[in-house]
Amino acid sequence: MDELLTVRRWRRYGADRLFVTQETGAPVGSVDLQSGEVVVEHPALEDGVRMAAQAWLRADLRTDTGALVLPVPASATDALDALDQAALEAWLGTVSADAPSLPAYRGERGSSVRTRLSRLVDEGWQVLHDVPVGRQGSVLQNLLVGPGGILAVSERDLTGSEVVVEGRFMTVDGEPVPYLRDARLEASRVQTALLAAACAGVVVRAVLVVQGRVEVRSPGGTDDVLVVPRTEVPGIFRRMAPRLGADRAAAIATIAGRRTTWSR
């Protein structure tokens, strides 16, 4: 009996994605229907995810939230006809298999949060990494300063888990976890250090980037921890309402870059 894949469309909170899972429920990958980004659990699975998306497109389920069940594609040679292939490429984009930049293209789509944040530098953002925020050796993974404000960005790899956010609380596979509390604490430490370094009136917001599927059933307040899937980075920061002017953002980033700011 052939192994089966299930393709489901998920549309909530402005997101629109296809999720591909195995019969066991184990994740295979996903396709962002807005950006065209393909995310897979392992690089060898990419062809299967793309062909599952092709089958979903061909089945004309684009406006349906129901599931499509299909056999695991045997190989990438099971091509669509020209019209279906053209439709898929218009939706996901395409890179020639012969193009020398293909490995780099695939690496970009699977790039780390650090790499994704670095794309914001040319858009008025400053990015600092591995910021020491505690006397016990605590390190903030990423500090982002720019038009959208001051953001303490941490990361969690929760691939394959069921992640649910309800207000100020998060569960992973049904069990409560302290990740939002930890993110708040990091942001508070950053804010305290910047205030002590004469950055008057600063507010630091915590951002938790999750590798994996996240269901936000009820978001926290506008200044509480922002929980986002990795696939939404860096776009979500580009869409933030302006809070800091370029000169002030640059000045705060300069102070944040000084070792003495974090050694008080």
Q: pLDDT by residue (tens digit) across 35-53? A: 667 777 776 677 778 777 7
The residue out of 75, 93, 109 marking a domain boundary is 109
Query: Residue 248 and residue 73: Cα distance in Å, rounded?
Result: 53
Q: Say whether both 177 and 77 belong to one domain.
A: no
What is the pLDDT at residue 107? 40
What is the pLDDT at residue 169? 93
Percent of the chain with pLDDT over 90: 35
Q: Say whether both 119 and 63 belong to one domain.
A: no
Q: Say whether both 142 and 21 belong to one domain.
A: no
Label residue 149 exposed, middle or buried (CB < 10 Å: 0-12, 13-18, 19+): buried
Query: Residue 30 and residue 16: Cα distance in Å, rounded?
Result: 10
pLDDT (mean) for 94-99: 41
Q: Which long-range contacts (CB under 8 A, 24 or more apart) does 118-121 make?
A: 119/234, 120/144, 120/146, 120/234, 120/237, 120/238
Does residue 9 have a pLDDT over 90? Answer: no
Q: Say whether both 159 and 94 belong to one domain.
A: no
CB count, 10 Å around CB of 243?
14
Q: Say whether both 55 and 133 belong to one domain.
A: no
Query: Residue 247 and residue 39: Cα distance in Å, rounded?
Result: 37
In which domain, by residue range, is 173 found? 113-262
The residue out of 47, 79, 109 marking a domain boundary is 109
Preceding omega of 147 cis (within 30 degrees of 0): no
> Does 100 or 155 have the greater pLDDT score?
155
The residue out of 83, 109, 135 marking a domain boundary is 109
- Structure confidence at residue 79 as a pLDDT band (50, 70, 90): very low
Does residue 63 have a pLDDT over 60? Answer: no
Comparing CA positions, the residue from 13, 46, 12 lying closest to residue 31 is 46
Domain count, the chain: 2
Q: Say whether both 146 and 177 belong to one domain.
A: yes
Does residue 249 have a pLDDT over 80? Answer: yes
Least confident stretch, 12-26, 29-43, 63-77, 175-189:
63-77
Rg of the chain (C-alpha set): 21
